[in-house]
Structure 1
Amino acid sequence: DAALERRFQPIQVPEPSLAHSIEILKGLRDKYEAHHKVTVTDGALAAAVNMSDRYINDRYLPDKAIDLIDEAGAKLRISRLSVPQEVRDLEEKILEARHRKEAAIDAQDFELAASERDSEMKLQKEKEEQTEAWRKSGTDTSKVVDADLIAEVLASATGIPIFKLTEEESSRLLRMEDELHKRVIGQDDAVKAISRAIRRTRAGLKDPKRPSGSFIFAGPTGVGKTELAKALSEFLFGDEDSLISLDMSEYSEKHTVSRLFGSPPGYVGYEEGGQLTEKVRRKPFSVVLFDEVEKAHSDIFNSLLQILEDGRLTDSQGREVDFKNTIIIMTTNLGTRDVSSGLQLGFQVEGDTKTNYDRMKQRVNEELKQHFRPEFLNRVDDTIVFPQLSMTEIIKIVDLFLERLDVRLADQGMKVEVTSEAKDLLAERGYDPVLGARPLRRTIQLEIEDTLSEKILFKEIGRGQTIKVDVKGEGKDAEFTFEGIETESLKPAEDADSELAGLGSSGSSGSSETSA
């Protein structure tokens, strides 16, 4: 209404700076200390402003910092409202004394009843004194709201692991390579590149308007590209569920773009939002994995340009989705198909793995430049080419799979020991230079897990046994053997379980063999 607007003078009130927000909180501190009966430190005020500015992006200062102080004070006050354990213990003792007194009265032992009555009265008086002391302690301000409590409140509100908000994060980042290598075998260059980029971001040397990191993972299939994304999600955010995985082959048509960012007004699914934007809105701290990104429709890359450059995206409903705290990973197999087929046909020079990797890296970079626009590649932090796995690394992956199998068997009171010969045979039969490590999982399921499951069901192997897996024969005639060995440390304490273990071990005095 122009007439109404003409009668008023608009006054723009911008968001205050960090320093001004801290001064505002200092002015409000006395009111919150009196209300919650706590003491708020200067460090807590600074932490509330700095952490809310960094981790809460859909609200403004000083409102979001004030809420952190308020919630931290309320959390501390509520923790003091619960009855102390000492008072609860006295209540139980009073109840027991009362029962003994009533039992003595029923037995007409009045001397004992009088003694129990005196004991009950003494306990009751002690309880009243402790209750009064506890209530008086609630009126003092000895409880302190500090920066650690602010971090704890923010972690519960946003879902960010609390170690990310404190000094402990820096020590974890320094050993990031070791943590990632617990799940990702080999790929040293890729792990180092990821770790350097993340440390650079956490040190505050990266543009705060862009995502925490953006990478293109290129290389043959089955070499650990997706596994590294999962390991990175677990390391940074404490949970593998923080990985948002999107198969871009599902978005190869023009009409599928709306599924990713939301349908326009008037179309079906408008109120549901996009699959990407809604997931990031719910989990702003996450790793976003675009799997096989080269298969996506070209219109999707226009939106990805905005995400990579500005760290934000406006969905179909006009809401701004923040990507500044996400890590963008795009995987591709471009440029690796010819190299993989060359390896399969025997074109690789024995022992010259570096030359082959350099050739593959050059081929990948050429294919990426042909398929993607220069402005898209320039916005990506790093393009990492994954080399193919060596036989040594395949054996380490065998160890990783067998450790997971051992954990599952431990729930049933068993464990597995695999000889080095058996591991070598598993690696040999599960290794494929074209498919990478993926056939290895199927090989272990077929050769080890299927046979073990049959022997457990037939009670040839049972609780309290260590299952030794070995190899008999050589070459194509090699077979895996399984032997159940009684182990004292695995025997259950319960008699019923001991009997079951005895039944299971009765049929496993020798070794049982299965064809490989």
Structure 2
Amino acid sequence: MTRALTALATRVMPLAFVAMAMVSVSQFWIQHGPKQSTIAAFYDRSIDTMQQHAWVVLALTGLFWAVAIAGWLHEKNRPPLRIENGGLLMDILDRLTNRQVLENKIAEEPQAIVIDSDKLANALKSKVIGQDAVCEDMAQQIRRRLALKQRGKPVGIFMLAGPPGTGKSYLAKCLATELQKKLFHFDMTQFSSGAYAASQLFGAAKGYVGSDTYGKLTAALRDTPDAVILLDEFEKAHSEVHKNFLTAWNDGFVTEASDGKQISSTEAIFVLTTNAATDALQALSETYANDVDELRRSSINALHEAGFAPEVLNRIDRVFVFKPLSGLDIARVTALEIEVMIKGYDLDIAEGGIDPDILFDMMKRQQRLGMGASSRDLLRAVEESIADTLISAKQKGYKTVKLVARDGVVKAEAAQ
């Protein structure tokens, strides 16, 4: 359409210029030319007619100029034409493919994202108690990797190692929440039974049961390529499952067995957790508390000795070692668990509404359990101590409560 208008303007433009020239000549003739000849009189009448319609001529001239300029701008923004064998050729992509579709695909490629690592670290530390160093390091790693525009592998492959119940899985969930990404949680203990385990995650080949549907992992990455993938207790998965992940981490895609399609993993964040080598890792975290690099190196060696294949460990970007809960961290976790449980009964906790004696008793109880104690033990202790009194408070119609310790028993009272 634009080209047609431009061509029309090009043809009519000379006529418009002729008309303008005639108007100018007429002005000169009227002022300076002779008045006596019949030809001159006829010409005068013609010029008068032109003058009466001068604005129409000017308007048409302006319109054609506007169309011509618009066409020129349109042509200027088009890809340059190549000259070959004396003739003009269109862009090779226009000739041989759908250039617009190609440009759309390029636009869909992963874009560089810059996040505030301090803000992310603070958000994680406020939820995952006692693991400040891990949260800060994790935030820095995520920031660096998201800022890369071109990636041939996932955003990150992180292993969280350490005692059970110290917040490893919870950190992955908090990370997904803070980054506003969907979380897919896979309990790897469910994928420990031979080759069938791999087909559950990556699909079954044609002719086998389940080959008409995608695997759980490939379907997740197909539908949500930028998800956080939590692989809980990764060491308990079958070795065939481990092998299937190597391509995802090294080459940036996983292959769906049912149709052979390659599913990109370059936008995903993989978080592995393990309870392997807990004692060794705990000793190492104390020995190298001030030497982060040596802690990571020695931790990888400990995990190798615990049964992790070298090819798996070599593809992990970072190993984060979690510390057991101790000191006031136990009190912090306990207070948070109490708050969550109170809200679970549709009640509110008053500010300062937890008796310090309750938290102190919980700390003592946890310490008696020794190094094997976890946040799950705290959760059970909290439930045993306050569940019944919260139910009673709810039945009495309380809205906001405070917890007090009376004769070794926790009571929920109405807050004033």
Q: TM-score range by the shorter chain?
A: 0.5 to 0.7
1:394-416 residue CA offsets vs partner (Å, 9 max, x unmatched): 1111222233345446x557747
**Percent of residue pairs identical:** 29
> Does residue 452 of structure 1 match 2:374?
no
Counterpart in the other structure of 1:425:
361
Q: Which runs of 5+ in 1 are unaligned?
A: 1-22, 29-59, 69-149, 159-163, 341-347, 487-516
Kept in 2, the 8 Å contact 1:253–1:297? The answer is yes
1:303-362 residue CA offsets vs partner (Å, 9 max, x unmatched): 21111111101111111111111111111111115778xxxxxxx9xxx98349799978
Kept in 2, the 8 Å contact 1:281–1:321? The answer is yes
Mapped partners of 1:430, 1:25: distance in 2: 74
> How is 1:101-500 mapped onto 2 (pairs within 5 angstroms)?
170=114, 172-204=116-148, 208-237=151-180, 242-254=182-194, 255-316=196-257, 317-337=259-279, 354-355=286-287, 364-370=299-305, 371-408=307-344, 411=346, 415=350, 417-430=353-366, 432=369, 433-457=371-395, 459=396, 462-463=397-398, 466-473=400-407, 478-486=408-416
* TM-aligned CA deviation for residue 265 of structure 1: 0.6
Q: CA RMSD in A?
A: 3.6
Q: Which secondary structure state, in structure 1, belongs to the residue aligned with residue 126 of structure 2?
A: coil
Mapped partners of 1:191, 1:337: distance in 2: 22
- Aligned amino acid, residue 151 of structure 2: P
Kept in 2, the 8 Å contact 1:469–1:481? The answer is yes
1:254-295 residue CA offsets vs partner (Å, 9 max, x unmatched): 222211111111011001111111111111111111111111
1:31-71 residue CA offsets vs partner (Å, 9 max, x unmatched): xxxxxxxxxxxxxxxxxxxxxxxxxxxxx974276599xxx
Per the alignment, do residues 192 and 360 of structure 1 end up closer, same or farther by CA in structure 2, a change over 3 Å counting?
Answer: closer
Per the alignment, do residues 263 and 225 of structure 1 end up closer, same or farther by CA in structure 2, a change over 3 Å counting?
Answer: same
* TM-aligned CA deviation for residue 185 of structure 1: 0.7
* TM-aligned CA deviation for residue 297 of structure 1: 1.4
* TM-aligned CA deviation for residue 454 of structure 1: 2.6
Mapped partners of 2:360, 2:164: distance in 1: 22
Per the alignment, do residues 165 and 381 of structure 1 end up closer, same or farther by CA in structure 2, a change over 3 Å counting?
Answer: closer
Counterpart in the other structure of 1:142:
none
Per the alignment, do residues 196 and 67 of structure 1 end up closer, same or farther by CA in structure 2, a change over 3 Å counting?
Answer: closer
Mapped partners of 1:67, 1:339: distance in 2: 45
* TM-aligned CA deviation for residue 214 of structure 1: 0.4
User: Over alpha carbons, which structure has the higher Rg?
Assistant: 2
Mapped partners of 2:131, 2:349: distance in 1: 33
Per the alignment, do residues 304 and 265 of structure 1 end up closer, same or farther by CA in structure 2, a change over 3 Å counting?
Answer: same
Per the alignment, do residues 426 and 64 of structure 1 end up closer, same or farther by CA in structure 2, a change over 3 Å counting?
Answer: farther
Report the TM-score, using the length of structure 1 for normalisation: 0.54
Aligned residues: 316
Kept in 2, the 8 Å contact 1:264–1:270? The answer is yes
Per the alignment, do residues 204 and 24 of structure 1 end up closer, same or farther by CA in structure 2, a change over 3 Å counting?
Answer: farther
Q: Which secondary structure state, in structure 2, belongs to the residue aligned with residue 182 of structure 1?
A: helix
* TM-aligned CA deviation for residue 436 of structure 1: 1.1
